[in-house]
Amino acid sequence: MSSSELAGRLLAEADLGQDYTRKPEKTARHDDVTVIGCPSLEQLGGDAAAGGSLDFPNKATATFLYSGSTGSEISEELYSDTAPKLTDGTKRIFDAMTGCPVYQVVIGSKPVKISTQKLAAPALGDEAWSQLLTFTAGGQDSIVKQTAVRTGAVLLVVSGAPALVDSHVEKALAKASTGN
């Protein structure tokens, strides 16, 4: 599936409800990210280690702010490739991230401690993965849940506030699978 076809299968504000607004997309570049304390993640590079996008040829992303709670957001990423490539790539990154329960990334000159915890994945799609990430920077903690679901040749990754991920992952998967 092409990136433009995937973009048509992303959630929209109308799918989520009145308290959501789409956040403008930024070009995420993590060239200045260094991983410390997790050799398997160091090999994957900065974008993966900082929770960035996966390296598949066709992708589409959307991020939404939830006004019902201060600072909450949810992002959705869709990828398309062959099922074995999606499985191998996703498994490699999730295993690397959860294989190092605590590591540090330095983005520019700012250190961020990341703690990871593997979670039971929801019984969705052909395969699923889930993890909880705690980012600590400047004495502040930020908790992000990340759930990935592969169905056929499409991979869905939903990240954000844990309650928002849990309440929208099935809706996102249904739209990603059917386009409706």
Query: How many CB atoms within 10 Å of residue 47?
Result: 16
Which element (helix H / strand E) includes 63?
strand 58-66
Indicate if the pLDDT at residue 47 is higher than 80.
no
What residue ranges define each of the domains in the chain, with the CATH number in brackets? 3-178 (3.40.1000.70)
* pLDDT tens figures, 155-175: 999 999 999 999 999 999 999
* 3 state SS of 132: strand
Looking only at the bridges linking them, the beta strands covering 140-151 and 58-66 are unpaired
Provide the pLDDT confidence category of residue 48 given band limits of 50, 70 and 90: low
* pLDDT tens figures, 102-156: 999 888 889 999 999 999 999 999 999 999 999 999 999 999 999 999 999 999 9
